[in-house]
Amino acid sequence: MEIEKPSRLATPLVIPLKTMTGPGPTNLADRVRQAGSLPSIGISYLHPEYAELTKDIVEGIQYLFQTKSQLSLCISATGHGAFEAICCNLLEPGDNVLVCTNGLWGERFSIIADRHDAVVQKLVKPQGQVFTPDELEQALKEHRPKLMYVAYGESTGGTLQPLEEFGKLCHKYGCLLAVDAVASAGGVPLYMDRWEIDILITGSQKVLSAPPGLTLISLSSRAWNVVLNRKSKIRSYLFDLTELAEIWGCNGIPLAGKYHHTSSVTLMYALREALALICEEGLENCWARHNLCREQFHKGLAELGLSLLVKDPSIRLPILTTIEIPTEYLNNWKDVCIYAMDTYKVEIASGLGQGNGKLWRVGFMGQNARPETVQLVLKALREGLEHARKNASQHAQL
């Protein structure tokens, strides 16, 4: 052979078990993991299990999102795939889109909308702050957008955007409301229909505690009509919701067994079980469990003398906390993370985007939203802070 076998593949794959308390992916529930290793099946009439699986997932999404929308399905891609799906299905070249930007996700959505030739208008706030209905109305009046993007849970700033009035406001100005609930759905109250959300997305790897690789999406009938009545072609075939609606049996049309693409069937098994676990626990209980962890964790952080980026407790994202790195740690904040990982295999994550080097981020999501995990992280953090302080003073003495 011209290219020889790489020697590195002759060594075993070693993946330690870590406590994944960053922004996700999180640890998987055992049942989810086991489901993910069930045997592969196909999508034709020879595999009726596949049709059942899709129905399970559709109804699971409807419960998770609190929506009656039959346009509820999965995209075979990570959350960025959902961003692409929103942009390529709902926006046409020259359309105005308003992007609420208070962290990395608004930036990313803007990039993707721009690549799809939309005219991007940004409503900008610093990380850690949220948007008021007045600010929103002002921007809607000024820009008259076709669609507005906002992150419900903003995982780079650690905020939870109050959304109750946003749907009505958007609709008053003929605008569709797209809500990114990747870092929130399942962990905090969320009502797609009641709040008049038009497009709602979430990922598999956060509160659902399923492996990354699938994105859940629901469309209101208002949004679906926009897709059906667009004039220009949908640029992506993989993310074309009119095609996906057919293979997901949406809109009451029975599953056609039609071939669109090869879906990630083992990820779908895992997601199905993750949704089943949420159903067993009940959404209210799941929300309450995440909130309890937040309370415990924030109490512990206060005892350690650490302060949060988000000052107003009512807009703190319960499932992910952004901690301000104290001045004395600005040069050696990584030591804290490395100590926690080396000693306890606990993930204390860095800030992302503007928050890099300024924030630590800790998430208790899904399987990790348990009091014992909170205590473990607080212990690792306390010791990590001591360790980094000692290290720094030793260096200072040299």
Nearer to a second copy, 35 or 100 (CB): 35
Q: Which tokens is 172 given? A: 């008053």
> What's the closest the beta carbon of residue 174 comes to a second copy, in angstroms?
26
> What's the closest the beta carbon of residue 337 comes to a second copy, in angstroms?
6
DSSP string, 336-361: HHHHHHHHH-B--EEP-GGGTTTEEE
CB count in 10 Å sphere of residue 379 = 15
Cβ density class 347-368: b for 16+ within 10 Å, e for less: bbbbbbebbeebbbbbbbbbbb
Nearer to a second copy, 224 or 287 (CB): 287
> Measured on CA atoms in the order 205, 208, 209, 211, is the torsion positive or negative?
negative
CA distances from 374 to 101, 206, 368 (A): 30, 16, 8
> What's the closest the beta carbon of residue 306 comes to a second copy, in angstroms?
19
> What's the closest the beta carbon of residue 302 comes to a second copy, in angstroms?
25
CB count in 10 Å sphere of residue 92 = 17
Nearer to a second copy, 22 or 318 (CB): 22
DSSP-derived letter for residue 330 is T
> Measured on CA atoms in the order 106, 113, 234, 89, is the torsion positive or negative?
positive
> What's the closest the beta carbon of residue 314 comes to a second copy, in angstroms?
23
Nearer to a second copy, 115 or 395 (CB): 115
Nearer to a second copy, 50 or 131 (CB): 50
| Beta bridge partner(s), residue 216 | 74, 202
> What's the closest the beta carbon of residue 21 comes to a second copy, in angstroms?
11
Nearer to a second copy, 59 or 295 (CB): 59
